[in-house]
C-alpha cells in the first residue's frame, strides 16, 4: 500500500489483506494482525502487481 503525496509515493504498509473505507479514511489490516488508519482515497488498484495507491487526504 502506497500513499501518494504530490508526485511522490511512500510505502505505508506491506502485506495488506483487508481495506475498509469509512468516509475519507481507510482502515488497513495486515497479514500479521497489524492495523493502520489513513486519510485518502484509492486511486489505483493493480492486482497483477499487488499494488494499491492512495492519494493523500490530509
For the chain, what are the domain ranges?
Answer: 2-56
Cβ-count burial of 2 within 10 angstroms (0-12 exposed, 13-18 middle, 19+ buried)? middle
pLDDT at residue 58 in the model? 75
What residues have CB less than 8 Å from 56, skipping those under 6 apart? 3, 4, 5, 39, 40
Q: Per-residue pLDDT for the chain (58 aa), expressed as one digit of tens each?
A: 999 999 999 999 999 999 999 999 999 999 999 999 999 999 999 999 999 999 998 7
- In the predicted model, what is the mean pLDDT of the chain? 95
pLDDT at residue 14 in the model? 95
pLDDT tens figures, 13-27: 999 999 999 999 999
pLDDT at residue 57 in the model? 83
The C-alpha atoms of residue 53 and residue 1 are separated, in whole angstroms, by 6
Amino acid at each position: 500500500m502506497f500513499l501518494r503525496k504530490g508526485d511522490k509515493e511512500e510505502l505505508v504498509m506491506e502485506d495488506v489483506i483487508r481495506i475498509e473505507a469509512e468516509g475519507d479514511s481507510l482502515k488497513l489490516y495486515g497479514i500479521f494482525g497489524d492495523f493502520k488508519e489513513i486519510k485518502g482515497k484509492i486511486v489505483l488498484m493493480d492486482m497483477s502487481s499487488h499494488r494499491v495507491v492512495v492519494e493523500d487526504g490530509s
